[in-house]
Structure 1
């Protein structure tokens, strides 16, 4: 997942800042200036808010979220004991990501944007001309282009109410015709005032064996545990608090966040639950509850750090030493701009 981990719009001396999407921008546009991070995490439980980061890296100014995710998935998939199911946001539901990760020993379940257009399997070769690469058009926001679903079920979910799931097979992106996918449409049939969760959700599965229809869409909902981890790292852990001055310092500080999370996960059975007066007791402790009770373990372990030194008088700036202003770096704008069209001059 990619997220603007550190928003630094006023740090003009910080190198390699880029434009990042932000849900709470400073101005009118949902864009901020800072660093974006790509996190690949393991979701250990079927329910709950635990997400254990395996790789948590900054997206440099010369990389893109897709290329960073491909590198991370390549390095992690080679160490997995068995074939895993990876869950991806709509930013990765595209042909470049499917093409670059097709050989990795992992299954992928991706969310699709509702304005995409997919293509079916081409018809049999007629014997003349070049064989067709694409079949019928499947536009997600145009039901007139949909074929009859291969499978359709309706079920009652205890949280979302009545849900309908439709499945189509053998569809692909235009730029990845050799990698067919199974397409799923998940719709809530229960009407209420929450329009955000009433919108249909499009999913695409590519891999060896897709889970059953009744559970595959529920598996995708586990992806949102990474959102809980980001909120935990920002609110409960001081990830975005220090205003560091170099990219290397930001990387070293960000490396501590996965380490802290794994320590809390390993200590969840060792701490005694100490809820605050307004909190209810929990059977399975969340990361916040473990961090709240982690002080008892630190009291027993102690610390290898030296006691703080007494405050003294600073010598101040050396007399006669020249002050040099820090270098100001421009914001890096990723992507390529198309050249403007110029009118041809008549001879």
Structure 2
């Protein structure tokens, strides 16, 4: 049975490699061997050109850069290939998607276009910096339990004209529709949960995805103010109906009524965790910001507010309450307990970002063109997906100073990558052998570069309020 399972996993990995190769529409051989070089290099990727020295990359460094800068990847087709792979599920068979942004910092790339100011944390408490770079929005599927694995399903670079929540909604719509088309979700299955941090507008995300079988769970700031439903309208009352009921201020416990649900859980990492939830709470939305162009009355997005308080944190920091907003209503105690536990699983995405950057070298290349950065990003996603498919195939090559060998199937991504070179010969390698050639003449000696690069602006493009502009034009 073990041999049959290994043969099936090896077949899945080989099919993925062949389908990935067919998604490379230009410079396919160079790009495919570059992804193999990322997987089989001896240590962390620290330089793009160093990958050309690995045995799996049979071409020169010129072909490597030519593939990154001039190659082509059919991203729509490759996204469907990734969606057809195995997707992690919870104990109840539910799929949970997490969305978050990670930054590719490029502070010295003055000639690289479409850079934005990226919020990064510096050393020391309360210190933060805004550094120019390319922010990327990732959508992954989370696994149950404590693990450093996630299933990356999509990535998109945020441009100067993009709004984070709108881009995340478009990404999630594409991913969910791909999962449905691949047969991962069918009618009657539990709804897909979407987990996000405070950078996303949860009510707007739920509004934009209302036609899909999803529910949204996001973290809220601790200074938010929500509202209960409006009280019943008395007979004979004149005027516009009331839209909002009593306020629920997160910072004012006097505004909190008795919770609808309350759970107490003993955890090994955080001590006693107390969760309380209040049903049918909604934010006060107005025709401002992203809702400025909304026709008619802004919607009343009711949901469940959850307050989680733990006894202690792993570090020395004092525990602060965690506020969550869930787009569903009438959540029972079991659902409330599942929601905050699944939100904590969102931090597994931080392990994925750290592995992509520190081991696979996602942000190491100093590329000028943002399209080349997108191409390299999808190569990294292809490499990470192959590691996920090979996690049950490789043997643990444990270092003497590491802990005892991990259980089968419980290897970390770094330890799976360590043994990937040993199983690569057993998989399919559709890339053709390189043809002998001679290097080009290059730039003539003594000539100068007459095409100087343009210094590009950093930051978001300003947007004008169309309603305010029209009002100004009418009064003027």
Measure, in 2, the Cα distance between the counterparts of 1:310 and 1:177. Answer: 64
**Offset at residue 45 of structure 1 (A):** 3.6
CA separation of 1:313/1:36 partners in 2, compared to 1, >3 Å: closer, same or farther?
closer
**In the alignment, what sits opposite 1:103?**
211
Measure, in 2, the Cα distance between the counterparts of 1:255 and 1:123. Answer: 51
CA separation of 1:51/1:336 partners in 2, compared to 1, >3 Å: closer, same or farther?
same
**Offset at residue 308 of structure 1 (A):** 9.7
**Offset at residue 277 of structure 1 (A):** 1.0
**Offset at residue 193 of structure 1 (A):** 6.2
- 1:245 aligns to 2:371 (yes or no): no
What are the equivalent positions in structure 2 for 1:286-325 lying under 5 Å apart?
286-301=412-427, 304=431, 306=433, 316-317=443-444, 323-325=450-452
What are the equivalent positions in structure 2 for 1:117-266 lying under 5 Å apart?
117-126=225-234, 127-175=237-285, 177-190=299-312, 194-195=316-317, 198-207=319-328, 210=331, 212-266=335-389
- 1:66 aligns to 2:165 (yes or no): yes
What are the equivalent positions in structure 2 for 1:26-37 lying under 5 Å apart?
29-37=128-136
**Offset at residue 274 of structure 1 (A):** 0.8
**Candidates 458, 462, 465, aligned match of 1:331:** 458
On the 8 A contact 1:8/1:34 being kept in 2, the answer is: yes
Q: Considering only aligned residues, what root-mean-square deviation do their CA atoms show, in Å? A: 2.7
Greater RCO (Cα-Cα under 8 Å, separation 6 or more): 2
Measure, in 2, the Cα distance between the counterparts of 1:124 and 1:313. Answer: 80
**In the alignment, what sits opposite 1:13?**
111
**Offset at residue 53 of structure 1 (A):** 0.9
**TM-score, with structure 2 as normaliser:** 0.65
**Offset at residue 20 of structure 1 (A):** 1.3
**In the alignment, what sits opposite 1:343?**
none
Deviation sequence 1:283-315 (CA, Å, 0-9, x none):
111111111111111354586464697997965
Measure, in 2, the Cα distance between the counterparts of 1:297 and 1:192. Answer: 38
**In the alignment, what sits opposite 1:22?**
120
SS across alignment from 1:37: strand
SS across alignment from 1:47: coil
**Runs of 5+ in structure 2 lacking a partner?**
1-98, 286-297, 469-476
Q: Which moved more, 1:79-88 or 1:218-227?
A: 79-88
Measure, in 1, the Cα distance between the counterparts of 2:440 and 2:173. Answer: 53
Deviation sequence 1:188-225 (CA, Å, 0-9, x none):
135886325x1110111113774523322111111111
**Candidates 282, 307, 330, aligned match of 2:406:** 282
**Runs of 5+ in structure 1 lacking a partner?**
340-347
On the 8 A contact 1:274/1:293 being kept in 2, the answer is: yes
**TM-score, with structure 1 as normaliser:** 0.88
CA separation of 1:24/1:337 partners in 2, compared to 1, >3 Å: closer, same or farther?
farther
**Offset at residue 46 of structure 1 (A):** 3.0
> Moved runs in structure 1, 4+ residues, more than 6 A?
307-314
Q: Which moved more, 1:303-312 or 1:275-284?
A: 303-312
**In the alignment, what sits opposite 2:40?**
none
SS across alignment from 2:346: helix
